[in-house]
Amino acid sequence: MKHAPTRLDRAARSRQIVIAATPLFARLGFHGTTTRQIAKIARVNEALIFRYFPKKEDLYWSVLETQCEAVGARTKLQKTLSSAGGEEAALAALARDILERNMRDSTLSRLLFFCALERHELAARFFNTVGEGYVDDLAKYIERGGRAGVFRVRDSKTAARAFIGMVFHHFIVYELFGGNRRGHLDIPKVAEALTSLWLDGMRKTDKSPVKRYNKNKI
């Protein structure tokens, strides 16, 4: 006796389509991926996709949101920066997270690269609603460090972008431009080295001992 195919509820069907679309968008970009390809991978009728996502942009945005939720980068950032142990330990942990997360799965990074390279409006939307918040959290941490006498602070957002960009560039060179062919990357060692370089430029250089972050102070 044959059983009728299982009918998925709306949420489950939406997830099925997002899961099918994700690797295609990450490999081929927004313009290079067709809804017909997505429908084939998801094993649904192409017209069904538009019942859940009226525009292809809506599906791409749902893919981005799903990836962000899975990664949880901002939550990890906030937890790392609020932990005790001093600014060197906190920032090295942040650098490790950026490197480990992206090298473990570069899907989100590739999706964002395609957005930017294709000059798609979703890139600006993502930056304004998600990416900027990540930078802001680190900038606030730097500002608190400035008030505590730890950092020289002139432009906290530029300093935050400098740290994130320095670490992320290392991932780009290693993962996307063939650096991985030169051998294994010692992530903890690289994270500590990059953190040390950034701190050398940010710490106050007066004759008094360098202050360390204290969770009761900032």
Report the half-sphere exposure of 107 (CA within 13 A, side-chain side): 18
pLDDT in tens, 137-164: 999 999 999 999 999 888 999 999 999 9
User: Are 69 and 57 contacting, i.e. CB atoms less than 8 angstroms apart?
Assistant: no
Which of 96, 187, 82, 205 lies closest to 144 in space, CA to CA? 82
Q: Which two tokens stand for residue 124?
A: 């600006």
Which of 188, 158, 157 lies closest to 170 in space, CA to CA? 188
The whole-number pLDDT of residue 8 equals 65
Average pLDDT, the chain: 86
Percent share of the chain, pLDDT over 70: 87
Domain 72-202 has CATH 1.10.357.10: yes
- For residue 77, pLDDT over 70 is answered with yes
Distance in angstroms (rounded) separating the CA atoms of residues 23 and 107:
7
Over residues 170-197, mean pLDDT: 83
Cα-based distances in Å from 163 to 46, 95, 124, 167, 186? 43, 8, 21, 6, 19
The SS3 call for residue 151 is strand
pLDDT in tens, 26-74: 999 999 999 999 999 999 999 999 999 999 999 999 999 999 888 888 8
Topology of the domain covering 10-66? Arc Repressor Mutant, subunit A (1.10.10)
Using pLDDT thresholds of 50, 70 and 90, give the confidence band for residue 122: confident
Q: Which two tokens stand for residue 59?
A: 């599906």
Which of 98, 181, 180, 81 lies closest to 136 in space, CA to CA? 81
How many Cβ atoms are within 10 Å of 132's Cβ, its own excluded? 13
Q: Where are the domains of the chain?
A: 10-66, 72-202
Dihedral-angle region of residue 43 (phi above 0 means left; psi in -120 to 50 means alpha; beta otherwise): left
Of 3-12, 135-144, 167-176, the least confident: 3-12
